[in-house]
């Protein structure tokens, strides 16, 4: 694949299946019970494989065929998938901070835009007329949005314009992600100046489980993620400004 080609996304049945499970607490508990032992057994097997690869590479003096590099890449991909599954099905405690959602987004905006600009795509940050403060976990929510933006910057079609928007409706946050695809021959989608981009930035592997992770994070905030059906990705996330976990005595930090 050359630099101008986009990876071709495929329908990921695992992601869609998990997305239907993580919003239901009973189903999530069942998923944890089913996958916990399986994940540990897989990780033990992978650790044995990793040790074997390491010892073989060390004793080879650098003369291994290319297939060994492919094996290492496959191992790392499986390990990342297991890590993500464990993050999704394990309990997700929150460290709540009272803050404006826009402050967290502003801290990450430059890096998020760069992910899209590097691939000749556009990320639009649609701010509300006025922001409002609520209680959420900025580290956890930022992790989910990082994963979403990295995924969509790679997997979305050439010419994608993605819009990240948020509003405060009543006592709830509403965070939206909507994509459109436009012709690539327009000024906003021109190739960025190479001198302004970081050197040797590695292409990150596409994460197939971003939506279940994000749904799990929003669910931990007593909220819900909805994915619209359509040719382009559109999701809406809502959660209360005061998550239900506060009723169970969770402390809040003030920014």
Could you state, in order of their start, the residue ranges of all structural domains in the chain? 12-55+68-89, 97-183+207-240
What are the two backbone dihedrals, phi and then psi, of residue 13, each rounded to the nearest 5 degrees?
A: -65, -35
Q: What is the pLDDT of residue 109?
A: 96
Q: What are phi and psi of 76, to 5 degrees?
A: -65, -35
Averages of pLDDT over runs of 10 residues in the chain (255 residues) are: 45 74 78 80 81 79 73 80 85 92 95 95 95 93 95 93 95 96 63 44 64 93 90 94 61 48
- Give domain 97-183+207-240's CATH architecture: 2-Layer Sandwich (3.30)
Helices (H), 90-163: 101-117, 138-155
pLDDT for the residue 74: 80
Q: CB of 163 within 8 A of CB of 126?
A: yes
The model's pTM is 0.76
């Amino acid at each position: 694949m050359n630099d101008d080609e986009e990876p071709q996304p495929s329908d990921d049945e695992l992601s869609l299946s998990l997305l239907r499970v993580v919003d239901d607490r009973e189903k999530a508990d069942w998923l944890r019970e089913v996958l916990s032992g399986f994940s540990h057994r897989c990780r033990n097997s992978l650790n044995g494989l990793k040790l074997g690869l390491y010892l073989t590479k060390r004793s080879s003096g650098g003369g291994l065929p290319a297939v060994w590099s492919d094996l290492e890449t496959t191992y790392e991909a499986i390990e990342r998938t297991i890590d993500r599954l464990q993050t999704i099905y394990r309990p997700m405690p929150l460290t709540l901070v009272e803050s404006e959602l826009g402050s967290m987004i502003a801290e990450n905006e430059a890096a998020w835009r760069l992910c899209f600009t590097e691939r000749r795509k556009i990320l639009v940050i649609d701010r509300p007329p006025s922001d409002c403060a609520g209680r959420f976990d900025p580290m956890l929510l930022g992790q989910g949005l990082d994963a979403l933006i990295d995924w969509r910057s790679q997997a979305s079609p050439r010419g994608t314009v993605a819009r990240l928007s948020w509003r405060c409706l009543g006592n709830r946050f509403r965070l939206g992600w909507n994509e459109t695809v436009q012709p690539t021959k327009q000024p906003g989608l021109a190739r960025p100046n190479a001198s302004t981009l970081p050197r040797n930035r590695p292409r990150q592997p596409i994460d197939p489980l971003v939506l279940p992770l994000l749904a799990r994070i929003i669910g931990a905030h007593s909220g819900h993620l909805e994915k619209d059906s359509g040719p382009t990705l559109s999701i809406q996330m809502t959660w209360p400004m005061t998550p239900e976990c506060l009723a169970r005595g969770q402390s809040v930090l003030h920014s």
